[in-house]
Amino acid sequence: MRRKLAAGNWKMNGTAAALSELVELAGHLDPNDAETLICPPAPLLYRACEKTRGTSIAIGAQDCHMQTEGAFTGDVSASMIADTGASYVIVGHSERRDAHEETNGDIRKKARAAWAAGLTAIVCIGESGDDREADNTLDIIAGQLSGSVPDGATGDNTVIAYEPIWAIGTGKIPTLAQIIEVHDFIRARLIARFGDVEGNAIRLLYGGSVKPDNAAEIFTAENVDGALVGGASLKASDFAPIIKALSAS
């Protein structure tokens, strides 16, 4: 059984004062709920780990460098992230692919760096609105999967997050049929590449305008194992209902 995962990506939001939301969120959770992960900005990682010590909330980073150390001003290595107490790192988010021109090869190297540091890599993939309109979605997803996910991916070291770029922060959302089509396609590709055991063990998250009022429907899909949530993860009052909906699915 794949344990459900509700992951919150705070993006470039929050200062130390926002960490009180973690305490409030922990108060909403119980041991039977889905695994809960918050990925705050890098300066908050250590304090977030301290705030959540003894709770069921895991902490992750939003990116890492592909190298372990060196002259990379402003970058953070996977080992530095692990040193804060964090256990996950997002790699390949569309905002990184776009604004920082990260390639599939870059993301593959970052995922390997995450593994080497003992972190679980959440590898993000997703098509643009133009790709969707041109009916190229599955081709784009196939290319990103093969190019961004390293050999050796397992259910322990890798999570895949499907985030259609046109749905991120826009309020738009694919139909349930479209989400099922892509997630079933990803599952089939993972099984074909990594075998039945590991291909079925890797968790698949959906991300893109997930809100408390649409979460329950999304989580009915067999191969949706959770969500990567942006804005709705910033407040415990918004994120807790999504976690509860996932836990009940």
Condensed to tens digits (0 to 9), the pLDDT of residues 191-217 reads 999 999 999 999 999 999 899 999 999
pLDDT at 132 over 90: yes
Residue 73 binned pLDDT confidence (cut-offs 50, 70, 90):
very high
Residue type, 128: S
Tell me the pTM: 0.97
pLDDT at 172 over 90: no
147 closest CA partner among 95, 117, 110, 201: 110
Residue 170 binned pLDDT confidence (cut-offs 50, 70, 90):
confident
- Look at residue 171 in the predicted model and tell me its pLDDT: 81
What's the average model confidence in pLDDT over 52-78?
97
Using DSSP bridges, classify how beta strands 203-206 and 226-229 pair: parallel, antiparallel or unpaired. parallel
Of 21, 102, 163, 198, the active-site residue reads 163
- The values of phi and psi at residue 37, to 5°, are -130, 135
Q: Are 206 and 174 in contact (CB under 8 A)?
A: no
- Look at residue 184 in the predicted model and tell me its pLDDT: 98
44 closest CA partner among 74, 12, 67, 66: 12
Whether 95 sits among the annotated catalytic residues: the reply is no
Of 93, 95, 183, 198, the active-site residue reads 93
Percent of the chain, pLDDT > 70?
Answer: 100
pLDDT at 83 over 90: yes
Whether 163 sits among the annotated catalytic residues: the reply is yes
Domains of the chain and any CATH numbers: 5-241 (3.20.20.70)
Percent of the chain, pLDDT > 90?
Answer: 96
What's the average model confidence in pLDDT over 50-56?
97
pLDDT at 173 over 90: no
Residue 63 binned pLDDT confidence (cut-offs 50, 70, 90):
very high
Separation of alpha carbons 225 and 108, rounded Å = 22
157 closest CA partner among 50, 83, 82, 103: 82
